[in-house]
Structure 1
Amino acid sequence: MPERTNDFGHYGAQGIKGSEAVARQLDNLAGYITTPITARRGLLARLNYLTRSNHARQAARAAGLTVTDRTIKAWLTGKRRPSRASLEQIETTYRTVRRQNVARYLLRRLNNGGGTRVEIHPFNQSQVDGRFQRVLKYRSLNIRQWDTIIRAWAAKDTGALDNAWVDAIVDLGSQWGQYEYVSAVGFAA
């Protein structure tokens, strides 16, 4: 059984951790607001999302939004403009709350019908000397239980997400270690 990769890229291979690729795909599926927060429309959309109900305001406070209701009202009416630090805080809080809200939906969709087929594209070896290259191919895998992956993604726990990804790819058999780092991971919900 292979061990975890300790020195990826030593011979010139290029790629990202599979767990990071999964997180990126889940972020794409989460459907964040695409208008930048620096634009008035993007700021208003995020603030409305975070303050539309008492439950949303509580979730925003729990996720780290520390400004007062008076300040938020001034931002919404356009009387004041948030500082750069406040914009970063709003964006971080928005993404955290959005992840938590979408996690239940994604979990239900990804676990539906016995799991979801995941396409795993191997890392790029074009810069690796021929004598050190491995024979890698595109693989697909049906992940039946997404609970730990989604929970780790929603909590932004990269360590737990990495462990959950490795637990999932062990089903590839003895070659699972070759797919700890990838160029892309694809799936749909």
Structure 2
Amino acid sequence: MPERNIEFGKYGARGIKGHEAAARQLDALAGFVVTPITARRGLLARLHYLTRTDHARAAAREAGLTVTDRTLRAWLEGGRSPSARNLARIETAYRTVRRHNVARYLLARLNREGRGTRVEFHPLNQSQVDRPRQRPIGYRTVNVRHWDRVVEAWVTDDLEALDQAWVSDVVVDLGSEWGQYEYVTNIGFAA
């Protein structure tokens, strides 16, 4: 059984950790607001999402957005603009609340009543590696039937738990050469 890569990129290979690519794909499936928070439209979209119900306000406070209702109202009306620090808090709270809200739907979509979802592994980029050191690594797919731990770690934004869940629940299913797919250029879901 292969071990984890210790000196990735030593000879010029390029890629990202598989769990990071999976998190990007889950973020894309979650459907975050695309307009940047620095634009008025992006700020208003996030604030409306975080303040439309009492439940959303409570979740935003739990996620770290601890400003008064008066300040929120001033931001929404355009009377004041949030500081850079508060913009970061709003973005963090928005992503946390959005991940929590879409987790159940996303889990059902990925598990598909036990049928699972096909995951595509695009191998790391070896174009900068000298010919004698290059290894033949091909494109691979695997059908993942249990996404619970992966989605749970993604929702809590715990990268260490996501890495553990990704390797133990997904990558190991590739067989004895799963270590070749610890780093990838991209991960795709058929969801």
Residues 1:153 and 2:154 are matched in the alignment: yes
For residue 133 of structure 1, report the CA deviation from its aligned partner.
0.9
Residues 1:137 and 2:154 are matched in the alignment: no
Partner of 1:95: 95
Partner of 1:85: 85
Q: How many residues align?
A: 189
For residue 188 of structure 1, report the CA deviation from its aligned partner.
3.6
Deviations 1:87-112 (A, max 9, x none): 11101110111111111111010001
Identity %: 68
Q: Using the alignment, how far apart are the partners of 1:124 and 1:79 within structure 2?
A: 49
Partner of 2:179: 177
* Letter aligned with residue 21 of structure 2: A
Q: Using the alignment, how far apart are the partners of 1:52 and 1:27 within structure 2?
A: 22
Partner of 1:165: 166
Q: Using the alignment, how far apart are the partners of 1:67 and 1:39 within structure 2?
A: 20
Partner of 2:48: 48
Q: Using the alignment, how far apart are the partners of 2:36 and 2:130 within structure 1?
A: 42
Deviations 1:117-164 (A, max 9, x none): 000000000111111111100000001100000000010000011111
- Backbone CA RMSD of aligned residues: 0.8
For residue 53 of structure 1, report the CA deviation from its aligned partner.
0.4
For residue 5 of structure 1, report the CA deviation from its aligned partner.
1.0
Q: SS of 1:185's equivalent?
A: strand
| Structure 2, unaligned runs of 5 or more | none
* Letter aligned with residue 31 of structure 1: G
Q: Using the alignment, how far apart are the partners of 1:39 and 1:183 within structure 2?
A: 31
Partner of 1:186: 188
Q: SS of 2:48's equivalent?
A: helix
* Letter aligned with residue 45 of structure 1: A
Q: Using the alignment, how far apart are the partners of 1:76 and 1:35 within structure 2?
A: 16
Q: Using the alignment, how far apart are the partners of 2:140 and 2:18 within structure 1?
A: 13
Q: Using the alignment, how far apart are the partners of 2:36 and 2:129 within structure 1?
A: 38
TM-score, normalised to structure 1, is: 0.98
Q: SS of 2:142's equivalent?
A: strand
Deviations 1:32-81 (A, max 9, x none): 11111111111111001000001000100011101111100111111111
| Structure 1, unaligned runs of 5 or more | none
Q: SS of 1:127's equivalent?
A: coil
